[in-house]
A and B are shown apart, each in its own frame.
Chain A
Amino acid sequence: MIVVVEDLSYSYDSRVAIQDLSFAVPKGQIYGILGPNGGGKSTLFRILSTMMHPTSGCASVAGFDVRTHPAEVRRRTGVVFQSQSLDRKLTVAENLHSQGHLFGLHGRALQVRIEDLVQRLGLYGRTSDLVGKLSGGLRQRVEIAKALLHEPSVLLMDEPSTGLDPGARRDLWNYIERLRQEQDVTVLLTTHILEEADRCDRLLLLHHGRKVIEGAPAELKSRVGGDIVVLETAAENGLENSLAARFGVQPHRVDGRIRVEIANGHRFIAEVVEAFPGAIESIALHRPTLEDVFLSETGALFE
């Protein structure tokens, strides 16, 4: 376990941001912290990147406690911030050099390392460009190169895809997966984007600062029973009560729609449409998504 969090809590004055959070990240995984905005992700990120001390409990990275050994943690962690941290008035190479210097790297060793990362992240030929003139996707790749310069064993990323267009997002994920394989880094990222969460090896759902559930995305989705059937009705006609009475299901009215978790949804649809002609505007079936997992575990919409 390369990142270990135990009974971690954090409060801003009176507001509790994280409460009794425990989890562990196995080495070499892409581990996602998924939750709606305001759920405590950023606070957790700041604690793991040694910017803030936990109010109680503890967290360690590569065996070093973030509170007592921040310098050791920093040497083993690469941090990619959501708000970018590059100097836009310097070139790509200048940014990478000064980052190397901040970590005590210099000379030939630093040069070799920079060239290697520039190759890996597809930045070849861009090193003398000013960062301010790069596209968002390229800049994000420079951020990653910068975070990996000192060969960290853990890469911490705060909302890495936010603000990227779909193409850049796809690229980013290809790079993340390659890095994990070739560089043997563990990636711990926060996200509120469900498609991104789906690509993680393991996920932790965070809601109101508490752990909701943890596991591989497929595993989490399999916990939701069978299929999801969503019905739109003409009006508040009490259809959910009729459904419950007739089929013994537990429908939820969410956001004006009726949502039912049920095995063999296709059969259920046929029966419902027969049983309540005219009461249904539309009806749809899908396999459980992470959104459904969140909804069924917390009773709240993911937004």
Chain B
Amino acid sequence: MNSGFWLPAFTLWRRELTRFWREKARVAGFVGSPLIFWLVIGSGFGNLSFFFPGALTLTVMFSAVFSTMSLIEDRREGFLLSMLVSPAPRSAMVLGKVMGSATLAWIQGLMFLAFFPLAGFRPSAVAIAELVGVLFLISFTFTSLGFLLAWQMDSTQGFHAVINLLLFPLWMISGAIFSIESAHGWMQVLMRMNPLTYSLALVRHFLECSNGEGLPPLTMSLVVSLTTGIALWMASTFAASQRTTRNFG
């Protein structure tokens, strides 16, 4: 094991989890939000099976992006400085932080996923394993995106604004609330250009164990989702390895 890379990455990953666990308000919100969703929506909603995959994805993506806000706190509190003047490579730093936040979002997604019988799904054991993987991929993708944005920002307020501006539209045109085929021509084009459409399609594929009528093909969905995740992660690593004076304010 190369202790110059994996050890820093590991310690930063563990730090995210420890910090999360210390903040009981965050833990409460983390556990509570899927429960409340099911209490409210589950008690009086007709077409649950259509909205379940979208709600699951939404939970994961927001949880993922918002946990990268810790990067802004790290900068404000000065902890980022000690990472930057250590010999640990920036790529290890990015991997540790991204994996830490992604792990949290992923666990929350799994908690949400556990309610699938209530929505009327009967996926096979293999499909469940695949879903677990897909949820991790979505978590990883959105923490990478969050990192990339948080790296440029000094205030959590600004971060909130940008995230809401970006994430909601992305989610709305991903097939979460209306399907691709029910959309107008130009909207269909937009939806097909949205990488999230493909991740959501993966969730639907595995949950419904169907051949996925009206959805992008499985292989294509997998390729697009993986490519997006890796590209965003690489972009974060690149951004973090740039030498800028503003990180040291």
Chain A positions within 8 Å of B, measured between CB atoms, are 12, 46, 49-53, 71, 74-75, 77, 79, 81, 83-90, 94, 97-99, 101-104, 106, 130, 146
Contact = CB atoms under 8 A, between A and B. Distances in A.
B71 to A, nearest CB: 13
Contacts of B81: 51, 79, 81, 83, 85
B78 interface: yes
A195 to B, nearest CB: 25
Contacts of A85: 78-79, 81-82
Given A86-B79, A101-B11, A94 B243 contact: no
Nearest to A84: B78
Nearest to A101: B11
Contact of B85 (A50, A83, A106): A50
14 contacts: A49-B85, A51-B248, A52-B245, A74-B85, A83-B81, A86-B78, A86-B79, A90-B19, A99-B82, A101-B7, A101-B11, A102-B82, A102-B87, A130-B22
Interface residues of B, number: 28
Contacts of A87: 15, 19, 77, 79
A130 B243 CA distance: 32
Contacts of A79: 81-82, 85
B133 interface: no
Contacts of A102: 7-8, 11, 82-83, 86-88
Contacts of A46: 245, 248
Given A94-B18, A98-B12, A81 B87 contact: no
Contact of A83 (B10, B78, B83, B84): B78
Label chain B's interface by main secondary structure.
Answer: helix
A162 to B, nearest CB: 14
Given A12-B245, A85-B78, A51 B11 contact: no
Contacts of A97: 11
A52 B15 contact: no
A94 B15 CA distance: 9
Nearest to B80: A85
A102 to B, nearest CB: 4
B99 to A, nearest CB: 14
Contact of A52 (B83, B86, B248): B248
Point out which of B7, B10, B82, B243 has the most chain A C-beta atoms below 10 A from its C-beta. Answer: B82
Contacts of A98: 11-12, 14-15
A81 to B, nearest CB: 5
B77 A74 contact: no
A103 B86 contact: yes
B136 to A, nearest CB: 24
A101 B10 contact: yes
A88 B76 CA distance: 12
Contacts of B23: 89
Contacts of B15: 87, 90, 94, 98
B82 A146 contact: yes
A75 to B, nearest CB: 5
Nearest to A99: B82
Interface in B198-249: 243, 245, 247-248
